[in-house]
């Protein structure tokens, strides 16, 4: 398959987002599929940002792990990423500011751009505009059409006036023309279909899904990585007829949304793990008063404040256990960007049909990474099911029983404003009419029946929700088990394993509560070896799966360094498991380098950087060591040695040159 991965590295403020967006939109308008991921590398000075944009003719299910072209916007990016460029690839950089003083892999070409010379006639050029010159050069070399890119820039800068548009297109042309004369292109012979696909993040898909489903109330408190839903909603609320309320805290967020849901509008809120912790009591309230609400929990690295700009799947235990007591809730983990749209639409219907809170659990990777999806993945015409909504009630039939005991457990719901159906929705335990049985008139029999009524709703919901299916060869050597955002990357790892002659299949879970325990157990019983793959450190889903099915997975592949899985890592680990090789938690060479960067940045000087690394068997410090040569960034001269524990990761000693 024709595909290319472009990396763009630079400091915060270097304009990476816009550069990446121009690249992605250009490719998308040509009909290519695009998947991007922005990892904020805080280990290097200046809040380094590392954006990868993968382009291909076939649908992409992850950002992959290749690097074919690098646009380096600062020296760090060259240091760190240039050695990763694969054979046949390119390194583009501004030769006026940056230098290449390290070796590249074979068949990797360096493309230094004389930006000042190229832009001399283009007016006052801001530093950030060097990116557009580099983009022009890139497009020429990888075979993306100039006119389409110029069209994207025109759309991006139109609001700033024709002058700005002309200048940017000029910068693009300068880069495009310069390399055309000097360098042979590396680009594949693309087949551009020119199918226009939306380039969208999971959070944007959640927001658009809410609009399609008729959401009228959205409340939020700013919290990464959920905030972009708030930003989209705030920018579009008026046009879409949605009240968007930024609240004083997540307690208010959840309680307001539940109040709005009780009053009869489709209401949603979103947060991350810390905010959800504050919402938990309200989640139980929605279960108890049987009010519909959709809550999106976008996980980030925990615990506590954790790593706010990094991804993790560490909040499963929290959403499963949120709030005191037993009450019905539905938990859904969408598996990709298009699924975010479908999941929100479905969640609103489930919330109203079963009159309960629906928690959609996402993560930073799924919510923030942009990718192309198919045009018909987003539709204005979606099914809307409001459940048993009573619009009038004849008082001659007696008092309205808001919590009527029914075979399904679902009771008719009347909204305030409906005549003759007045009732109180209480968080205290209550009878069919909502009259309290909590204190003075506690009643065991009524309590038992209403507790059963509430929970029974999940039995019906389970029948409606699709059961998990095993994808891939039934006789596989390993079954890779995952949930939520890892669906695509696991599927891609399975393809890599197949290419290497290893047969694996996939069992992926979207509907987490209620849980298809019987169906899952039947599938798992037939698997030869099961491997849980989770972006957390304890295997929260594997434990849940064991509780629900009695099946203990054979092995776990866990990642909790803040970065998402990539196909190669999964494939390598699965291979190691199948071959019976031990998997160790020792500090790798790349990790030792990162620890060294951190040490230099915080304790020494940014004029220094790690050079050569050597692993020592130990020198009396109780563990093997990484000996890291520390060199001067400019001169390359050795300044000293840093020793890092190869097991503990401790920065054990710094010995400057005498």
**Footprint on residues 431-470 left by another protein (CB under 8 A):** 433-436, 439-440
Burial class (CB in 10 A: 0-12, 13-18, 19+), 326: exposed
Q: Check binding of 212 to another protein (CB under 8 A).
A: yes
Check binding of 144 to another protein (CB under 8 A). Answer: no
Kindly indicate which of the ranges 134-142, 203-211, 465-473, 555-563 contains the residues binding another protein, using the contact rule CB under 8 A.
203-211
Question: Which CB sits closer to another protein, 265 or 471?
Answer: 265
* DSSP symbol at 514: S
The one segment of 63-71, 132-140, 165-173, 204-212 that binds another protein by CB under 8 A: 204-212
Half-sphere exposure of residue 606: CA atoms within 13 angstroms, side-chain side: 7
Cβ distance to another protein smaller for residue 418 or 495: 418
- Whether 23 and 6 have beta carbons less than 8 Å apart is answered as yes
Closest CA to 119 of 105, 131, 106: 131
Q: In the bound complex, what is the minimum distance in angstroms from residue 70's beta carbon to another protein?
A: 27
Q: How does DSSP classify residue 430?
A: B
- Considering only residues 220 to 259 of the shown chain, the ones binding another protein according to CB under 8 A are 236-245, 247-249, 251-252, 255-259
Among 120, 160, 182, 196, binds another protein (CB under 8 A): 196
For residues 403 and 637, give the distance between their C-alpha atoms in angstroms, rounded to a whole number: 77
Site string for another protein, 550-569 (x = CB under 8 A): --------------------
Rounded alpha-carbon distances, angstroms, from residue 3 to 66, 110, 373, 560: 10, 20, 17, 29
Q: Which of 14, 76, 204, 363 binds another protein (CB under 8 A)?
A: 204
Contacts of 144 (CB under 8 A, 6+ apart): 26, 27, 30, 138, 187, 190
Measured distance CA(262)–CA(308) in Å, rounded: 32
Q: Site residues for another protein, window 23-62 (CB under 8 A)?
A: 25, 28-29
Q: Which is nearer to another protein, 317 or 418 (CB)?
A: 418
Q: Cβ closer to another protein: 440 or 658?
A: 440
Cα–Cα distance between 631 and 637 in angstroms, integer?
Answer: 5
- Rounded to a whole number of angstroms, the minimum distance from the CB of residue 208 to another protein is 6
Beta bridge partners of 556: 532
Of 103, 325, 407, 417, which lies in the binding site for another protein, with binding defined by CB under 8 A?
417
C-alpha 501/C-alpha 645 separation (Å) is 37
| Residue 96 found at the interface with another protein (CB under 8 A) | no
Query: Is position 422 an interface residue for another protein (rule: CB under 8 A)?
Result: yes
Q: Which of 428, 561, 572, 591 is in the footprint of another protein by CB under 8 A?
A: 428
Given the complex with another protein, which of 261 and 539 has the nearer CB atom?
261
Which of the residues 258 through 317 are near another protein (CB under 8 A)?
258-267, 281-282, 285, 289
Residues 274, 309 contacting (CB under 8 angstroms): no
# of chain residues touching another protein (CB under 8 A): 76
Choose, by CB under 8 A, the member of 19, 39, 68, 219 that binds another protein: 219
Min separation Cβ 20 and another protein, Å: 15
How far, in whole angstroms, is CA 264 from its chain's centroid? 31
Reference 340, options 167, 213, 208; nearest CA is 208
Residues 360-389 within binding reach of another protein (CB under 8 A): 375, 378, 380-381, 384, 386
Residue (181 or 248) nearer to another protein, CB: 248
Q: Which stretch binds another protein (CB under 8 A): 180-188, 416-424, 456-464, 646-654?
A: 416-424
CA-CA distance, 534 to 481, in Å (whole number)?
A: 9
Which position among 36, 91, 171, 211 is part of the footprint of another protein (CB under 8 A)?
Answer: 211
**Smallest distance, Å, CB 386 to another protein?**
8
- The reply on whether position 150 binds another protein by CB under 8 A is no
Cβ partners under 8 Å of residue 48, min gap 6: 9, 10, 11, 12, 40, 41, 42, 74, 76, 77, 80
Instruction: Please classify residue 503 by burial: count the beta carbons closer than 10 Å to its beta carbon, then call 0-12 exposed, 13-18 middle and 19+ buried.
Output: middle
Binding-residue pattern over the window 156 to 195 for another protein, x denoting contact by CB under 8 A: ----------------------------------------
Looking from the CA of 200 toward its CB, the CA atoms found within 13 Å total 24
């Amino acid at each position: 398959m024709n595909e290319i991965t472009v990396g763009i590295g630079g400091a915060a403020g270097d304009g990476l987002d816009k550069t990446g967006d121009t690249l992605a939109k250009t490719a998308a308008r040509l009909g290519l599929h695009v998947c991007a991921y922005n990892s904020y590398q805080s280990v290097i000075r200046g809040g380094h940002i590392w954006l990868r944009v993968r382009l291909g003719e076939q649908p992409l299910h992850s950002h992959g792990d290749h690097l074919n072209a690098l646009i380096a916007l600062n020296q760090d990016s060259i240091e760190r990423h240039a050695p990763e460029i694969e054979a046949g690839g390119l390194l583009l950089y501004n030769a006026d500011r940056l230098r290449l003083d390290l070796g590249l892999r074979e068949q990797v070409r360096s493309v230094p751009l004389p930006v000042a010379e190229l832009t001399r006639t283009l007016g006052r050029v801001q530093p950030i505009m060097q990116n557009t010159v580099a983009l022009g050069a890139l497009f020429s070399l990888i075979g993306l059409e100039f006119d389409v890119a110029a069209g994207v820039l025109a759309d991006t800068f139109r609001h700033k006036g024709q002058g700005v548009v002309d200048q940017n297109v000029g910068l693009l042309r300068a880069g495009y023309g310069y390399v055309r004369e000097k360098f042979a292109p590396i680009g594949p012979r693309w087949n551009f279909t020119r199918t226009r696909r939306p380039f969208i993040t999971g959070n944007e898909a959640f927001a658009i899904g809410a609009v399609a489903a008729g959401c009228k109330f959205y409340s939020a408190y700013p919290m990464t990585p959920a905030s972009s839903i708030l930003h989209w909603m705030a920018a579009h609320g008026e046009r879409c007829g949605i009240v968007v309320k930024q609240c004083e805290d997540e307690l208010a967020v959840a309680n307001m949304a539940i109040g709005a849901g009780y009053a009869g509008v489709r209401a949603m809120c979103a947060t991350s793990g810390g905010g959800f912790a504050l919402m938990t009591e309200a989640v139980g309230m929605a279960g108890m008063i049987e009010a519909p609400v959709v809550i999106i929990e976008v996980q980030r690295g925990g615990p506590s404040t954790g790593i706010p700009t990094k991804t993790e799947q560490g909040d499963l235990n929290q959403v499963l256990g949120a709030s005191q007591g037993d009450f019905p809730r539905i938990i859904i983990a969408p598996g990709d960007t298009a699924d975010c749209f479908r999941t929100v639409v479905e969640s609103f219907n489930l919330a109203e049909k079963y009159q309960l809170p629906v928690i959609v659990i996402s993560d930073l990777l799924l919510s923030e990474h942009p990718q192309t999806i198919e045009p018909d993945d987003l539709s204005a015409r979606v099914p809307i099911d409001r459940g048993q909504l009573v619009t009038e009630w004849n008082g001659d039939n007696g008092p309205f029983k808001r919590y009527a005991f029914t075979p399904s457990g679902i009771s008719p719901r009347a909204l305030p404003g409906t005549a003759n159906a007045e009732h109180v929705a209480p968080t205290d335990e209550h009878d069919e009419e909502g009259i309290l049985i909590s204190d003075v008139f506690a009643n065991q029999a009524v309590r038992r029946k209403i507790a059963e009524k509430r929970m029974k709703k999940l039995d019906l919901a389970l029948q409606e929700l699709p059961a998990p299916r095993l994808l891939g060869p039934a006789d596989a050597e390993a079954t890779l088990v995952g949930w939520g955002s890892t669906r695509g990357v696991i599927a891609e790892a399975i393809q890599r394993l197949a290419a290497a002659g290893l047969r694996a299949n996939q069992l992926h879970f979207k509907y987490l509560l209620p849980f298809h325990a019987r169906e899952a157990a039947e599938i798992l019983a037939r698997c030869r070896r099961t491997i849980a793959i989770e972006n957390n450190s304890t295997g929260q889903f594997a434990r849940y799966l064991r509780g629900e099915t009695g099946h203990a997975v054979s092995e776990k592949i866990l990642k909790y360094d803040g970065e998402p899985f990539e196909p190669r890592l999964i494939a390598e680990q699965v291979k190691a498991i199948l071959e019976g090789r031990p998997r160790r938690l020792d500090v790798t060479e790349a990790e030792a380098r990162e620890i060294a960067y951190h040490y230099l940045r915080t304790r020494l000087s940014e004029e220094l950087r790690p050079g050569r690394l050597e692993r020592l068997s130990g020198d009396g410090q109780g563990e093997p060591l990484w000996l890291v040569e520390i060199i001067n960034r400019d001169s390359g001269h050795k300044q000293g040695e840093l020793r890092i524990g190869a097991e503990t990761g401790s920065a054990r000693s710094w010995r400057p040159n005498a």
